[in-house]
Structure 1
Amino acid sequence: MLGRFFRDRSGNFGVMTALMLVPVIGVAGFAIDISNALIVRSTLQAAADAAAIAAVAETSAGVMQAMQMKSDGQLSAAIEDAKKVFIGHAKMSEEYELKNFDVDVVKTGTQVKAIFTFDATVPTSLARILGQSDVTVGGRAEAVFQTDTFRDFYLLLDNTPSMGVGATPADVTKMVDNTRDKCAFACHIVKDGVEDKNSYYYLAKRLGVTIRIDVVAKATAALMETAKSSRKSSNQYRMAVYTFGEKAEDTKLLQVASLTDNLDQVKASASGIGLMSIPYQGYDNDQQTDFDRALKNIGELMGTAGTGSSAGNPEKILFFVSDGVGDAYKPSSCTKKTTNGRCQEPIDTTQCEALKSKGYRIAVLYTTYLPLPTNDWYNKWISPFQSQIPTRMQSCASPGLFFEVSPSQGITEAMNALFLKIVATPRLAS
């Protein structure tokens, strides 16, 4: 009987099964625990993704903070927001223990970058048989937002006597029909501080004639609303407005509005832009349109051109509005014939090139110089180079930033279109 017992093999399967049962259950349990851990990781990863995206969302506190900063650095507002979003999405429970989570949101140039990391432990059940009490899971989420370019705009508006011409052919005709010398220009005469109410400037007002500078002033004011609606933060665009001068006796640049991000203030100031006055007809041989001087002087005011990467490093844009005909004393450098040194010519682009070489971008709005076929002065001096005026104005502009507006078009719409074209172009490379 004892011999038969030792020779009997019928119970081997049961013994082996008993011996194998522990590791089999452990491995199966470990697979189940790993599956649970992956579910937890997926939940936490989704929360981290949401937190990183929220930190750099276009309307987030972090991006608003970044747009206000003048230099690079960490964004505390974005970090706090990201942590709150993560906790809200993580669905904390007893199924896991969150060991650590961290977020860093930094502005570098025009880039806002959020990096979120986390790790957690998930308790095991059946895998404990194998001595595995928990499973560690972790993850990382990254999101980037590209902030818009910061720009300073310097508007240089030609308000010299030639901008007193009627704004439309109908306005020109009305002036010609109601002046004894068939003049289309509403000359603004002010002598010793006293307005000449009999000047053509006031005649135009009585006739209801709109002159070119009035339309430019209205368009400049309206442009501020376009800029306000286009900016992502209150300090993204700053504006300054200058004209060629208040009076012909002192033709230095007139500051209409100093550089500021208070565009409502600029709008109010621009609404009052007026035509340069002269003390009497033919004063200084009508040499009030000195483009060379005006462009040189505005360049001295604009400061160093930046890349647009921050409020402290803005791009510099010269927004130049004119009819393109110079009239100044240039006895030796004029490109056309002169009379006693008086130079009437299309704009000389030498100063434009000097400004562009400094890194400034020049946007040119050319208000088409209206032909005046009934005017002897026009026929003799301007008509011969009429076709060259737009070509020279376009040469003054930076590539792609030229716009011509004819009398039948709206200057307001043209200024807005040119501005939107500027802000839609990529920023300068650093």
Structure 2
Amino acid sequence: MDASDPDVAAGKRKMSIMAFSGKTEKLISPSKSANAVKAVLNDFAKADRFETEYAKAFSKFKTFVGTQGNDTEANPDKMLILITDGIESRDAFHSQKAIDVGLCTDLKASGIKLAVIELKYPKLTSNFLYDDTVLPVEDDISPAMEACASPGWYFQAADNADIPVKFNEIKNKFGVAFTRLVD
């Protein structure tokens, strides 16, 4: 976080990280420390992220995030940035589907702004698992991800290297200093 940002200094802007796969867990509580957030992100990349059960994840998100704040240090405004490929999956042997937009609608109804960075699923040619599980729902993913986001807060990353670019777009759209997570 940028310590020169008056909102960061006032405690109004903090970042927390949750990871979800077969389980959802809070990796760091809300923090003003860019170093603490970056350290968690470095460890996050090593974690198992092969399953995505959105219903479980969104239930935990809603509990953790709570309701929208009123832009004070005691009760700051809240935004959830969801980074995902948009595919609901339990394992390689079950049919996969696009994210259930109703889960996003429920979270947004609580007043939380939802920014979505869709990490495009890579096209795999001559791959049995891809052909059997992803290809049948491929055309449903991006429209569902866009519908999931709050209006104007949908971003698409071509690959992992594009995610910091999308964070900068969110920062610029937000109109205030925002954490630069990757150098």
TM-score past 0.5 threshold:
yes
Deviation, structure 1 residue 383:
1.1
- 8 Å contact kept, 1:367–1:405: yes
Runs of 4+ with >4 A deviation: none
Indicate the residue corresponding to 1:323 in structure 2: 85
- 8 Å contact kept, 1:320–1:363: yes
Counterpart selection for 1:313 from 45, 60, 75: 75
Counterpart selection for 2:38 from 267, 272, 284: 267
AA in 2 matched with 1:316: K
Deviation, structure 1 residue 269:
2.1
Q: TM (normalized to structure 2)? A: 0.83
Partner SS for 1:414:
helix
AA in 1 matched with 2:134: I
Q: Could you say if the C-alpha distance between residues 377 and 343 of structure 1 is closer, same or farther in structure 2, counting changes exceeding 3 Å?
A: closer
AA in 1 matched with 2:34: L
Q: TM (normalized to structure 1)? A: 0.37
Indicate the residue corresponding to 1:231 in structure 2: 5
* Structure 2 residue 44 is matched with structure 1 residue 295: no
295-304 or 409-418, larger mean C-alpha shift: 409-418
Whole-Å separation in 2 of the counterparts to 1:229 and 1:410: 25
Aligned residues, how many? Answer: 173
Q: Which consecutive residues of structure 2, in runs of 5 or more, have no partner in the other structure?
A: 177-183
Q: Which consecutive residues of structure 1, in runs of 5 or more, have no partner in the other structure?
A: 1-226, 246-250, 279-285, 330-338, 425-430
Whole-Å separation in 2 of the counterparts to 1:409 and 1:267: 16
Counterpart selection for 1:253 from 1, 18, 24: 24
**How far does the alpha carbon of each residue in 1:54-82 deviate from its partner, in whole angstroms, 9 at most, with x for none?**
xxxxxxxxxxxxxxxxxxxxxxxxxxxxx
**How far does the alpha carbon of each residue in 1:203-228 deviate from its partner, in whole angstroms, 9 at most, with x for none?**
xxxxxxxxxxxxxxxxxxxxxxxx41
Deviation, structure 1 residue 236:
2.9
AA in 2 matched with 1:390: S
- 8 Å contact kept, 1:402–1:418: no
* Structure 2 residue 159 is matched with structure 1 residue 421: no
Deviation, structure 1 residue 322:
0.5
- 8 Å contact kept, 2:157–2:166: yes
Whole-Å separation in 2 of the counterparts to 1:230 and 1:415: 19
**How far does the alpha carbon of each residue in 1:335-370 deviate from its partner, in whole angstroms, 9 at most, with x for none?**
xxxx7xx44101111111110111111000001111
Deviation, structure 1 residue 267:
2.0
- 8 Å contact kept, 1:242–1:255: yes
Q: Which has the larger radius of gyration?
A: 1
**How far does the alpha carbon of each residue in 1:136-160 deviate from its partner, in whole angstroms, 9 at most, with x for none?**
xxxxxxxxxxxxxxxxxxxxxxxxx
* Structure 2 residue 153 is matched with structure 1 residue 390: no
Whole-Å separation in 2 of the counterparts to 1:406 and 1:253: 25
